Amino acid sequence: MTSNYRLRLPGPTTVPERIRLATAAPMQAHRGAEFKAMLAEVQEGLRAVYGTAQDVYLFAGSGTAMMEASLANVLAPGDAVLVAIAGQFGERFAAIAAALGAEVDTVDGDWGQGIDARELAGRIARRDYRAVVVVHNESSTGVTEDLAAIGAALRERPTLLLVDSVSGLAGTEMKMDVWGADIVVSASQKCLMCPPGLGFAAVSAKAWELVKREGTVPRFFYDFRRARAALEKGETAFTPPVSLVYGLREALRMIAEEGLVNVVARHRRLSSALREGCGKLGLEPYNRPAVASSTVVALKVPRGLEGTKIVAHLRSRYGTVIAGSRSPRLHNKVIRIGTMGAVSEADIQTDLAHLEATLKDLIT
Ligand code: PLP
C-alpha cells in the first residue's frame, strides 16, 4: 500500500510489521508438534486477554460467524433470548437470533447512551430467557457497556450471558470469569492487530451444560463440542488459517511485552486525547462521556456537513481512511475512527491535523 494510505478504521486495523512478517512464515503441518506448541502458546495469551481460565476456541471466520456460533451452540428452536440493542451490532445479534429460530425480545438503549443494566435486570426477572445477548463495545456508536453490572444481574440465574467483544477484546478491560460472561466471541482484525479471518470463542462451565446437549439449532463447522475435543489433542477440528495463527502468536507476544494493563491504558489515553482534540475542532462525541469506548471514537457530523464527504475528502486529500456509518439510522450523521490495536500518539496527532484541514477545506 502506498505511504499516503493511513488505515484508521475501527477494524480492520493496521497490521504491524512484526505481525505481517510472522504471517509470511513457511507453512507447517496443522496437526504437527510445532503447530501444537504454537496453539498452546496462543491459548495462554488469549486466556490472559479474555480474563478467563477457560479454553478459547479458534475458528476460521469473521466476528459475525462467531456471533452466530455463540447462539447456535446454546439455542434450541423456540428458545427465548433477550438482546440488548443500542447500535448496529446489537441489531445484527438480534437478526442472527431470529434467523436461528429464537423468540427474540429486545431491551433497547439510547444509541450513544448504551444499555441500562437495571432495566435489563428487570426484564430478566419477567421471563425465562435462555440467554441475554450483549455487544460489549458497540462500534457503531463508540459505547462500551458495563458488563460487570450486566453479569451481576444474571449471576444467580440459569440464563446465559453471550457477549460480542469483537471490537473490545485486547483493547479494553475484559474479565470474563469475574464478570460471569458465559460465551465471549471476538475476531482477529481489531485490537489484536491481525489480518481478518480468525474468530474466537471462550465458553464458561455454565454454558457448557447447554453446549454439550443434543437438540440445539443445527451446527457443524462451528460446533464447540468438536472444537473442544480437538483442543484436548492440541489441535483445531478442521484446517485452521495457519498463517493467521502465526500472526496471532506474534500479536499476543507484543501485548505481553507491552503489558496488558499498559495496552488497555494506552487505548484509554489515546481515545480520550482524540475525543478531546476533536472537541476543539467542533467535532463532538456521539456518545455520553461516561460510556465512551477506548477503541472507537464516534463523532457527530457538524450541521451543514455530510459524513460521507468528510470520509471521502480525508481519503482523497490526506490519505487517511476512517469510517462513516453503515447504519441507515446514523448515515451521514456519524464518522468513526479506530483507536484500537497498534495506535500511537503520533497517529492521533496526524488524525487531528488531517481532520482540522479537512473541515477547513469543506467549510470554506
Ligand atoms: N461486532 C462488532 C462490535 C463489530 O465491530 C463488528 C465489525 O465491525 C462485528 C461484530 C462484525 O465482525 P465481522 O465484520 O468480522 O463479521
Give the residue whose CA is nearest to atom 9 of ligand 1. 63
Write the CB contacts of 159 (distance below 8 Å, at least 6 apart in sequence). 82, 124, 128, 129, 130, 131, 132
Question: Ligand 1 centre and the CA of 61: distance in Å?
Answer: 11
Q: Which helix (H) or strand (E) holds 175?
A: none
For the Cβ of 64 lying below 6 angstroms from any atom of ligand 1, the answer is yes
Are 71 and 81 in contact by the 8 Å Cβ rule? The answer is yes
Q: Of 198, 227, 256, which one is at a domain's C-terminal end?
A: 256
Q: Please check whether residues 264 and 335 belong to one and the same domain.
A: yes
pLDDT digits (tens, 9 = 90+) for 200-250: 999 999 999 999 999 899 999 999 999 999 999 999 999 999 999 999 999
* Ligand 1 pocket member 134 (CB < 6 A): no
Is residue 36 domain-shared with residue 159, that is, in the same domain?
Answer: yes
- Please tell me the number of Cα atoms within 13 Å of 247 on its side-chain side: 25
For the record, the C-alpha cell of 207 comes out as: 454454558
What distances in angstroms separate CA 64 from CA 198, 215, 281, one per listed residue? Answer: 11, 23, 35
Whether 126 and 169 share a structural domain: yes
129 and 155 in a common domain: yes
Task: Give φ, ψ of 321 to 5 degrees.
Answer: -105, 105
Q: By residue range, what is the domain housing residue 160?
A: 17-256
pLDDT attached to residue 4? 86
91 lines ligand 1 (CB under 6 A): no
The answer, yes or no, to whether any atom of ligand 1 lies below 6 A from the CB of 200, is: no
> Are both 300 and 358 inside the same structural domain?
yes
Measured from the Cα of 139, ligand 1's closest atom is: 5
Q: Is 68 in the pocket of ligand 1 (CB under 6 A)?
A: no
Beta bridge partners of 163: 134, 184
* Residue 11 Cα to ligand 1 middle (Å): 8
Burial letters for 319-331: b for 16+ Cβ neighbours within 10 Å, e otherwise?
Answer: bbbbbbbebeebe
| Residue nearest to ligand 1 atom 13, measured at CA | 63
Q: Is the CB of 167 under 6 A from ligand 1?
A: yes
Q: Is the CB of 308 under 6 A from ligand 1?
A: no
Give the CA count within 13 Å in the CB-facing half-sphere of 283.
27
Q: Assign 201 to helix, strand or coil.
A: strand
Asked if residue 89 has its Cβ within 6 Å of ligand 1, the reply is yes
Amino acid at 171: G
Which cell goes with 340?
484500537
CATH number of the structural domain spanning residue 150:
3.40.640.10
| Same domain assignment for residues 150 and 184 | yes
* pTM for the model: 0.98
Is the C-beta atom of 166 inside 6 A of ligand 1? yes
Q: Identify the residue whose C-alpha is closest to ligand 1 atom 2.
A: 166
Positions of the chain with pLDDT under 50: 1-2
Phi, psi of 360 (to 5 degrees): -60, -50
CA distance 146 to 232: 33
HSE-CB of 245 using CA atoms within 13 angstroms: 26
Residue 82, in any domain of the structure: yes
Does residue 240 share a domain with residue 93?
Answer: yes
Q: Does the beta carbon of 90 lie inside 6 Å of ligand 1?
A: no
For residue 196, give the ligand 1 atom closest to its CA: 15
Please work out whether the CB of residue 93 comes within 6 Å of at least one atom of ligand 1: no
Q: Within this chain, do residues 247 and 266 fall inside the same structural domain, yes or no?
A: no
Q: Looking at residue 185, what is its pLDDT?
A: 99
Q: Separation of 282 CA from ligand 1 center, angstroms?
A: 28
Cβ partners under 8 Å of residue 336, min gap 6: 9, 10, 139, 140, 142, 296, 297, 298, 299, 322, 323, 324, 325
**Burial per residue of 93-131, b for 16 or more beta-carbon CB atoms within 10 angstroms, e otherwise:** bbebbeebebebbbbebebbebbbbeebbebbeeeebbb
Cα 111 to averaged position of ligand 1 atoms, centre (Å): 17
- E strands, 143-218, are 143-144, 160-164, 183-187, 198-203
pLDDT value, residue 3: 64
Distance CA 246, CA 161 (A): 31
Q: Quick one: 41 and 151 in the same domain? A: yes
Alpha helices in 180-306 (DSSP H): 205-211, 224-232, 242-258, 260-280
Domain count, the chain: 2
**Cα of 196 to ligand 1 centre, how many Å?**
10
Same domain, 38 and 159: yes
Collapsed DSSP state (helix, strand, coil) of residue 133: strand
Distance 107 CA to ligand 1 centre (A): 20
pLDDT value of position 364: 78
CB of 62 closer than 6 A to ligand 1?
yes
